[in-house]
Structure 1
Amino acid sequence: MKIKKEMHHIHDKSYKDLFSNKKLLVTMIQSFVESPWGKDITEDNMELVNKSYILSDYEELESDIVYKANIEDKEVIFYILLEFQSYVDYSMPIRLFMYMSEIWREVLKNAKKIDVKSKEFKLPAIVPIVLYNGEYKWTVERKFKNVINKNELFGNNIIDFEYILIDINKYEKDELMKLKNIASAVFLLDQKVDVEEFISRIKEIAINFNNLTEEQKMMIRHWLRTTLNDDIKNKLGERIEDILIAKKEEVEIMTSNISRTIKETFEQTREEARLEGREEGREEGREEGREEGKIEVAIEMLKDGEPIEKIIKYSKLSENEVLELKKSL
């Protein structure tokens, strides 16, 4: 039984809504990005840029989030690409390079020419981050120069950068549980697990993630409502996402009821499949019987010396089938 929708566009939109929240983004960077500048990122110095740099070639494929920050009085741009496809795309470094170039082009377009030509002018740093939730191992090159032919010949004479990869499915459950923040809660619920484990994780988050605010719980609840499989929602209503906002004494009862419903649904589905398989077997048997009947008719007519055309007409076999039977006799 599938838990989450397969369409990457649904995930893109829901994640874009989630990570448009500065608190969540800061939490993600500080929890999952190992860097000396991570400690300098705060909600106060971060600003969401409501502009997409997705190029027309990729507009049906991707979604992005852009933030600006001031670190030591210098502007830094965080370009976050949401990569939620079912396959790994090896053109990722090239795509990121194109988006980063587009951001710098926009900066230059809005700057005065005299400023650009001055000694003091600097382009803002761009930190590319890829957020990936696919089930396949990420084997794409992280460094841009590694997709340039014969890069080893040119050393530092060619452009290079390395993007940050946050691979949701690579984190262990215990590692995420220890963090107990909104970013780790989202990752826990988006990893590839079965339905029972999924319900168990919601239960643990509802009971043990005491640092989550009511607003953050509502954000996750909305995200679940958007991404949960329609079949799951139709069978269970809104009960799954309601676990997150229930009182702790109610959580155990709710999860037990949902687990029971899921088990009953599974048993019903399995019984329907068994009955369907039995009916298919009967139909196959009837078909085999019909074929055997045709062959018996043809054999009797061949023994009686009837012409081939007549045998084909009455047995419903093809000419080749009748000729093969004649050879075997």
Structure 2
Amino acid sequence: MNDSTKNNIHDKSYKDLFSNKETFLNLIQNFVNNTWGSQLTKDNLTLINKSYILSDYEEQESDIVYKANFNGNDVFFYVLLEFQSSVDFRMPIRLLLYMIEIWREILKNTKLNEFRRKSFRLPAIVPIVLYNGKKKWTSSKELKDVISNSKIFGENILNFKYEFIDINSYDKEELYNKQDISSAIFLLDQNIDRIEFYDRLKDIIIQFNKLSGEEKMQLKHWLVNINTEEYNFKDNIEKIFSSNKEEVLNVTSNISRGLEKLKEDGIEEGKAKGKIEGKIEGKTEILIKQLSRKFKSLPEEYIEKIKTLPESIVENIATDIFDLESLEDLKKYF
């Protein structure tokens, strides 16, 4: 799967998640510094089923648009999902273009006599960028910063500042203390290794008592959809979410033990989302040794089959090794 496809899946998963009004409210009221968030309710929010992404960026990003009523007037919340590996220094300009598209559509659907009234007002648009990249965000957050001579002309030029939510910037303990759906998502989507991922997921299932049953199902759905490359990941998630608290400890412990075993045998942990660095040949040889020790001996035909397996399946056998009861259990991986 190429990076573009991965980003599209990630964007869509987040879009599905925050298209839920209550989840969007949780994000706004807990992660955006404002004085107006408390005025937003599920009842005065409307999800706009339209994207304003320019054709040049369709493969790179996604957006979510909400409309709310404030004191009898509409306001739009434009959320840009920015899940790229690099920082885009054109961000203020891109947001401006998206905002103009929203206003252009509103004007197009406004009657001429209404538009000519002195009382006519364009609706406010609040731009928000949600970012999960590893690199520090160094792009300007105000439009004036990408306009030449802006200091000279001051208020004579157009300007706005977008709200910025950097998923990787939040402290782990801060997110643990919040115990809400957005914090759970951020904890699992930060730049962490697989062992830490499963440890956090265990804590969320056991400790996040504020999460409703519906929110846990949202979390599960999101996890299943953003990790499509990992061979046994969906099964692990299903098992974890269907277990009681005591069972969750055992399930995640077994997964982590498998990952720790790989580390002890000299395999370096991967950087993010379950990938482990190193040559596939080395991993395969280590796995063969582990299986030979576990089952006393390993048939030559099994050894040859394991040597032909892709890296992701080799990793998943190593993860599941403590759950394997017989050589027959290996056949499902071939």
Q: How many angstroms apart in 1 are the aligned matches of 2:248 and 2:43?
A: 35
- 1:103 aligns to what? 102
Q: Which runs of 5+ in 1 are unaligned?
A: 277-329
Residue 263 (structure 1) shift: 3.1
Q: How many angstroms apart in 2 are the aligned matches of 1:236 and 1:146?
A: 44
Q: What one-letter code is carried by the residue in structure 2 that aligns with 1:246?
A: S
Q: How many angstroms apart in 2 are the aligned matches of 1:86 and 1:107?
A: 34
Q: Which has the larger share of helix?
A: 1
TM-score (normalised: structure 2): 0.77
Residue 96 (structure 1) shift: 0.1
Q: What one-letter code is carried by the residue in structure 2 that aligns with 1:28?
A: L
- Do 1:5 and 1:228's aligned partners in 2 also have CA atoms closer than 8 Å? no
Spell out, residue by residue over 1:55-107, the C-alpha distance to the aligned partner (whole angstroms, 9 max, x if none): 22222222000000112222110000000000000000000000000000000
Q: Which runs of 5+ in 2 are unaligned?
A: 268-279, 286-334
- 1:325 aligns to what? none
TM-score (normalised: structure 1): 0.78
Spell out, residue by residue over 1:175-227, the C-alpha distance to the aligned partner (whole angstroms, 9 max, x if none): 00011010100000000011111111001100111121222111111111111
Spell out, residue by residue over 1:95-150, the C-alpha distance to the aligned partner (whole angstroms, 9 max, x if none): 00000000000000000011111011111000000000000000110110110111
Q: What one-letter code is carried by the residue in structure 1 that aligns with 2:92?
A: P
- Do 1:205 and 1:244's aligned partners in 2 also have CA atoms closer than 8 Å? no
Q: How many angstroms apart in 1 are the aligned matches of 2:133 and 2:229?
A: 20
Structure with bigger gyration radius: 1
Q: Does 1:273 align with 2:282?
A: yes
Structure 1's 275 and 174: CA in aligned 2 closer, same or farther, altered over 3 A? closer
- 2:68 aligns to what? 69
Structure 1's 245 and 129: CA in aligned 2 closer, same or farther, altered over 3 A? farther
- Do 2:4 and 2:59's aligned partners in 1 also have CA atoms closer than 8 Å? no
Structure 1's 12 and 52: CA in aligned 2 closer, same or farther, altered over 3 A? same
After superposition, the CA RMSD in angstroms is 2.2
Residue 245 (structure 1) shift: 4.1
Residue aligned with 1:108, SS: helix
Q: How many angstroms apart in 1 are the aligned matches of 2:232 and 2:106?
A: 50
Q: How many angstroms apart in 1 are the aligned matches of 2:166 and 2:45?
A: 23
- 2:171 aligns to what? 172
Q: How many angstroms apart in 2 are the aligned matches of 1:76 and 1:146?
A: 25
Structure 1's 264 and 272: CA in aligned 2 closer, same or farther, altered over 3 A? farther
- Do 1:240 and 1:258's aligned partners in 2 also have CA atoms closer than 8 Å? no
Q: How many angstroms apart in 2 are the aligned matches of 1:274 and 1:68?
A: 51
Q: How many angstroms apart in 1 are the aligned matches of 2:242 and 2:4?
A: 23
- Do 1:196 and 1:259's aligned partners in 2 also have CA atoms closer than 8 Å? yes
Q: Does 1:247 align with 2:244?
A: yes
Out of 248, 258, 262, the position equivalent to 1:261 is 258
- 1:230 aligns to what? 229
